Amino acid sequence: MNILIVDDEEVLRDMTVDILGAIRDKHPSLPELHIHTAENGAIGAQKALDHEIDLVITDYMMPRMDGLRMAHALRKRGFTAIIVMVTSACFETSTQAAAVGIDQIHPKPLTYHLLEDIILWFRQKMLEVGSLGENGTEIINEIKVGDGDDEKTNVI
């Protein structure tokens, strides 16, 4: 399962990676998690397209390109993977998020239990569409894990 975490705060990106590791440990039936990170929407959009991302978890407010603009840009390019936004913004943002194709929006902070709910919901969706086998493992031949540049990819 290829996951992209997009947030301008490095501490929050690292914390999310750590939480995902704990969730994977608690739920061994989850497929291996390949976690990519990006510090803004512009970099996130490029990584989403370059790395066959299955799930994007993004912040809203970021420099250079925010989460809404990133989601809109991805959807315009035919990106069909699930996009989840976590924000402290208001109801108006929820309406805008739905309009640009964001699948879920959640209030900050991103807690262990919220992230666990997102991952288990996403796994169920993958099972329903046949992207995962019955035992929860991915039905794919190869997983691309980085392209040798300086990007950080975590495999959990």
- Beta pairing partners, 138: 132
How confident is residue 128, by pLDDT bands cut at 50, 70 and 90? Answer: confident
Do strands 104-107 and 82-87 pair parallel, antiparallel, or not at all (unpaired)? Answer: parallel
Reference 7, options 87, 114, 82; nearest CA is 87
Question: Structural domain of residue 138, as residue ranges?
Answer: 2-155
pLDDT grade for 103, boundaries at 50, 70 and 90: very high
3-class DSSP state for residue 122?
A: helix
Q: How many domains does the chain have?
A: 1
For residue 80, give Cα distances in angstroms to 10, 35, 59, 114, 118. 26, 18, 19, 22, 17
Rounded CA-CA distance 48/34 in Å is: 12
Using one digit for the tens of pLDDT, what is the confidence trace for 4-46? 999 999 999 999 999 999 999 999 999 999 999 999 999 999 9
Q: Is residue 89 scored above 90 in pLDDT?
A: no
Q: CATH number, domain at 124?
A: 3.40.50.2300
